[in-house]
Structure 1
Amino acid sequence: MIPITTSVFELFKIGPGPSSSHTIAPMRAGYHFNRAVAEAELPAIPDRIEIRLYGSLSATGKGHGTDRAVVAGLLGYLPDTVDCSFLDSLADGSPHLFECGSVKLHAGINDVIFAEVNNSFPYSNTLTISLKKNKETVFEQEYYSIGGGFIKLKGQPEEIPRVPVHKYSNMAELRQILIEKQLRMHEVILENETAITGMSKDEIRIRLDAILDTMKQAVKNGLATSGVLPGPIGLNRKAKALYARSSCDNEADRFFVRLNAYGFAASEENAAGHIVVTAPTSGSSGVIPAIVYALEEDLGISREMTRRGLMACAALGFIAKHNASIAGAEVGCQGEIGVASAMAAGLITYAHGFRFWRTENAAESALEHHLGLTCDPVGGYVQIPCIERNAMGAVRAYNAYLIASVENEKFHKVTFDEAVRAMAETGRDMNSKYKETSLGGLAVSVPNC
């Protein structure tokens, strides 16, 4: 067993949209390169920078703003602190001064090359950043975007393993810990988080609240904004209009219209390149925030219970990432919206005070009914079908909670681990044109986009 050592704050990261794998990870790679150059002893003074994008970073990187993100990172910006207006300003191609130690040259999106989609790198979504002198490479780093904003550096030595208090690698092992030690899911995650990060429980709670507040702010911002989203599709925002029309006579309809509006709102903010929380990715950053907003604003769930639900749903995300993937480029949208919906279903169930078996069953049901979901963004933009899909994922999560809250435990046949294994196998078999490359599905069926 290789235990899960991922931190809650690695899974939930604050940063600009529209894609954690295409925006946040490349920005982190660019920033890492900036720091690496500052510490390197170069054999010659370079005269230019070259950035090469591969895989779906190349296929859909223009629509995802990958070129702007990696340049912003090179210039010393991090995802959680970057000014989105500065990111937007990079689109005109104007070069900016890249200064690290003795290196002083200019960098802009014109230094980005959209290279081969099909490649032989260990991870399809690869980017290389090089310093050149008369066409010769002076210094180079190779980075892999592995989903959810996570990056790996080629040749990077393995970190000293962080030792969690409670070691588990899947739901079956986590379930055993909960039974044997008579602990709740949020207690296991909180104790592991203190061991993994070195933070106190109070510090962790403060950071969890910052994550929840950022999620809710994304919803609020989206509900208050109308107009057309960036890019050639010309897609109009819908969240504000949906919310305005949510005063239906039927109370059930009113709640679900609002839940849809919340999902649209956060996802539209992501599509606009504004600040969201990876949950577990930027492309799925409307599902869990919609649920969080509904729980606290419509259903009166306390912050303490929402916080506990967030920790429980993090465990579900960890298991999916550890045993399959949360990257659309690897397993399709079942790994993004599917996992987000499963996490959200678990969050709702747990925040309502139910125990782990109902939480697991809700999560399993939500994931099961997203299996096989392709990632086929029209025009390479995280807009169609992504925005509406976030709203659908939130509604499906709530439906999974409703079923799990009343079902008999003995009658639930599929485990969360089995659903995750099915997702991994389906992802392996899925044709690459349905994995965030915009080469199949809606991406080629929708005309004039």
Structure 2
Amino acid sequence: MKSLRELFRIGKGPSSSHTMGPQKAAKIFASHNMHAASFEVTLYGSLAATGRGHMTDVAIDEVLRPIAPLRIEWQPQVFLPFHPNGMKFVAFDNAGNQTDEWICYSVGGGALSEGEKGRWLTGLREVYKLNTLREIQDWCESNGRGYWEYVNESEEEDIWDYLMDVWKAMKESVERGIDHEGALPGPLNLPRKGPIYYVKASGYKQSLQSRALVYAYALSVSEENASGGIIVTAPTCGSCGVLPAVLYHLSKGHNFSDTRILHA
């Protein structure tokens, strides 16, 4: 099993594979081509077919256009051999000569792959020796430890700093969502409902309030994701609302400390 960093990724919605992955790829390519005069990005296969709806072009544009002019090509009928979510980044100099080219793939959950030809992406090492929940549970019971203590033994020391950043991003996505009124992006002009449910839930009697608040929190984060806001994959953008909603309610409604939330 790999690090929890691969499960919880902080990034831009609404799709871990169509938005977060391409934006991460753009940042990597930009870091190697800061002096480029222009860029061209070609999106292939399913990444191109639904890219506009997932704001793939917006995510890439935010990274590369501040450096140099950018042209994005859409090739939904062309599928590269390794994965349907293929991308090709090209950099040019002032004379229009190609100076760099990189092909990579957004393989889900915000993760990237270079296929069989690695160049800039390093392999992810296995962090956890045990690979099933049953094995981990047996270890915890045999050693009188909690799940978080197994994490503490397996991960690097700064994992708790990273998870604190994750928790902070989760809280902020809930709080933005319950305060963010108006319509979601897109031609349907669907109104946000998270803030409405939050107001309603706040007025319920105590026996009904907990469930209603958790629902309002989860919906609010999902709407932040749909609008291209910053969220945490858990493990994808599509499921990003559930875990923050539960943890936020434990924090606010049951006074759980940050330490207890991180251990959870």
Equivalent residue in structure 1 for 2:135, among 173, 176, 201? 173
> Relative to 1, partners in 2 of residues 1:121 and 1:173: Cα closer, same or farther, differing over 3 Å?
farther
Higher fraction of strand:
2
Equivalent residue in structure 2 for 1:256, among 199, 202, 211? 211
Confirm or deny: 8 A CA contact 1:31 1:73 kept in the other structure: yes
Equivalent residue in structure 2 for 1:184, among 141, 146, 151? 146
Taking the aligned partners of 2:199 and 2:241, their CA distance within structure 1 comes to: 19
> AA paired with 2:199?
A
Confirm or deny: 8 A CA contact 2:44 2:80 kept in the other structure: no
SS at match of 2:53: helix
Confirm or deny: 8 A CA contact 2:173 2:221 kept in the other structure: yes
Question: Structure 2 matches for 1:234-313, cutoff 5 A?
Answer: 234-247=189-202, 250-309=205-264
Confirm or deny: 8 A CA contact 1:54 1:126 kept in the other structure: yes
- Deviations 1:232-272, CA, capped at 9 Å, x for gaps: 12010111111111145543332222111101111111222
> Relative to 1, partners in 2 of residues 1:263 and 1:117: Cα closer, same or farther, differing over 3 Å?
farther
TM-score, structure 2 length as denominator?
Answer: 0.86
Q: Which residue of 2 aligns with 1:153?
A: 114
- Deviations 1:26-56, CA, capped at 9 Å, x for gaps: 11111111233359xxxxxx87532111233
SS at match of 2:235: coil
Confirm or deny: 8 A CA contact 2:220 2:241 kept in the other structure: yes
Confirm or deny: 8 A CA contact 1:223 1:240 kept in the other structure: yes
Given the alignment of the two structures, is residue 56 of structure 1 paired with residue 46 of structure 2, yes or no? yes
Q: Which residue of 1 aligns with 2:13?
A: 17
Taking the aligned partners of 1:181 and 1:123, their CA distance within structure 2 comes to: 42
Q: Which residue of 2 aligns with 1:122?
A: 82
Taking the aligned partners of 2:98 and 2:31, their CA distance within structure 1 comes to: 18
Q: Which residue of 2 aligns with 1:231?
A: 186
Taking the aligned partners of 1:206 and 1:38, their CA distance within structure 2 comes to: 30
SS at match of 2:201: coil
Taking the aligned partners of 2:37 and 2:206, their CA distance within structure 1 comes to: 65
> AA paired with 1:125?
N
Question: Structure 2 matches for 1:16-55, cutoff 5 A?
Answer: 16-37=12-33, 48-55=38-45
Q: Which residue of 2 aligns with 1:361?
A: none
> AA paired with 1:241?
I
> AA paired with 2:178?
L
Given the alignment of the two structures, is residue 71 of structure 1 paired with residue 31 of structure 2, yes or no? no
Confirm or deny: 8 A CA contact 1:23 1:64 kept in the other structure: yes
Higher fraction of helix:
1
Superposition deviation, residue 127 in structure 1: 0.9
Superposition deviation, residue 218 in structure 1: 1.1
Identity of aligned residues (%): 32
> AA paired with 1:54?
Y
Given the alignment of the two structures, is residue 142 of structure 1 paired with residue 103 of structure 2, yes or no? yes
- Deviations 1:106-151, CA, capped at 9 Å, x for gaps: 22xxx11121256242111111112368998653211111111111
| Unmatched runs of 5 consecutive residues or more in structure 2 | none
Confirm or deny: 8 A CA contact 1:27 1:74 kept in the other structure: no
Q: Which residue of 1 aligns with 2:165?
A: 210
CA RMSD, 1 decimal: 2.7
> AA paired with 2:79?
N
Q: Which residue of 2 aligns with 1:316?
A: none
SS at match of 1:227: coil
Given the alignment of the two structures, is residue 219 of structure 1 paired with residue 209 of structure 2, yes or no? no
Taking the aligned partners of 2:28 and 2:124, their CA distance within structure 1 comes to: 21
Confirm or deny: 8 A CA contact 2:42 2:75 kept in the other structure: yes
Taking the aligned partners of 1:117 and 1:182, their CA distance within structure 2 comes to: 55
Confirm or deny: 8 A CA contact 2:47 2:76 kept in the other structure: no
Taking the aligned partners of 1:245 and 1:156, their CA distance within structure 2 comes to: 52
Report the number of matched residues.
261
TM-score, structure 1 length as denominator?
Answer: 0.53
SS at match of 1:63: coil
